[in-house]
Chain A
Amino acid sequence: GAVVSQHPSRVICKSGTSVKIECRSLDFQATTMFWYRQFPKQSLMLMATSNEGSKATYEQGVEKDKFLINHASLTLSTLTVTSAHPEDSSFYICSALRGPSGGEQYFGPGTRLTVT
């Protein structure tokens, strides 16, 4: 099956600093990737849709200046959490869309962010 990687898997940072999370599709090209956020014991919440070569589309309520998304190539999307605060601590998961409409999203293993 298709493989999507995320790096880092875990990160601890201090309040006020920025953290970059990478999402890579390893064996296919993905023009569209998605970023999700998951709080403990809750479902996945879509944050934004990342499109290669264009600006990301953010879901309502997600601050685009705080969560910067860059999809610079067909295999890489990055999420930067700027000026992180403890409330940004969460599990961040990316997915890459493979195939035509209704195609499967392949999920990365997730990144656990802890802001102290």
Chain B
Amino acid sequence: AQKVTQAQTEISVVEKEDVTLDCVYETRDTTYYLFWYKQPPSGELVFLIRRNSFDEQNEISGRYSWNFQKSTSSFNFTITASQVVDSAVYFCALVGGGSNYKLTFGKGTLLTVNP
């Protein structure tokens, strides 16, 4: 069975602070993919990143960065210099090689960035 744990239910920061959203996953598949999605108040899911299990390189995209560590089964997401527009629910998700493409979502972390 696959599982994604986002232990932080809610995080509140002040604008310009850095914030890290944690994601820990469980899977028996050797090939799998990890994702992060953003869900603003409008409800539409916005794709942020996909990472396959064979690529442990960290990735940076503007103010966003991701730290993938297979040794700890974690795929953490950091927002640098947070902005009010970053306020949203962020979901970490996993799809295993043998799961028929089904995404397993974490419970999400509500990030509130205050001005």
Q: How would you classify the secondary structure of chain B's contact residues: helix, strand, loop or mixed?
A: loop
Once the chains bind, are B45 and A107 in contact (CB under 8 Å)? yes
Contact A101 B91, CB 8 Å, known A107-B44, A109-B43: no
Once the chains bind, are A43 and B108 in contact (CB under 8 Å)? yes
Contact A105 B91, CB 8 Å, known A1-B47, A112-B43: no
A-B Cβ contacts below 8 A, count: 56
Contact partners of A32 in chain B: CB under 8 A = 101
Once the chains bind, are B50 and A93 in contact (CB under 8 Å)? no
Interface size on A, residues (CB 8 A): 24
Q: Answer whether residue B95 sits at the interface, using C-beta atoms and an 8 A cutoff.
A: yes
Most chain B CB within 10 A, of A91, A93, A101, A106, is at A101
Chain B, residues 85-103, CB within 8 Å of chain A (1/0): the string is 0000001000101001111
Q: Answer whether residue A67 sits at the interface, using C-beta atoms and an 8 A cutoff.
A: no
CB contacts under 8 Å to A, within B19-74, are 31-33, 35, 37, 42-45, 47, 50, 52
Interface size on B, residues (CB 8 A): 24
Once the chains bind, are B101 and A103 in contact (CB under 8 Å)? yes
Contact A102 B47, CB 8 Å, known A43-B106, A44-B91: no
Contact partners of A43 in chain B: CB under 8 A = 91, 105-108
A9 to chain B, nearest CB (A): 9
Contact partners of A105 in chain B: CB under 8 A = 101, 103
Contact A42 B47, CB 8 Å, known A34-B102, A103-B101: no
Q: Answer whether residue A63 sits at the interface, using C-beta atoms and an 8 A cutoff.
A: no
Once the chains bind, are B44 and A109 in contact (CB under 8 Å)? yes
Contact partners of A1 in chain B: CB under 8 A = 47
8 pairs of A and B residues whose beta carbons are closest in the complex: A107-B45, A102-B33, A109-B44, A110-B43, A43-B107, A43-B105, A44-B105, A43-B108
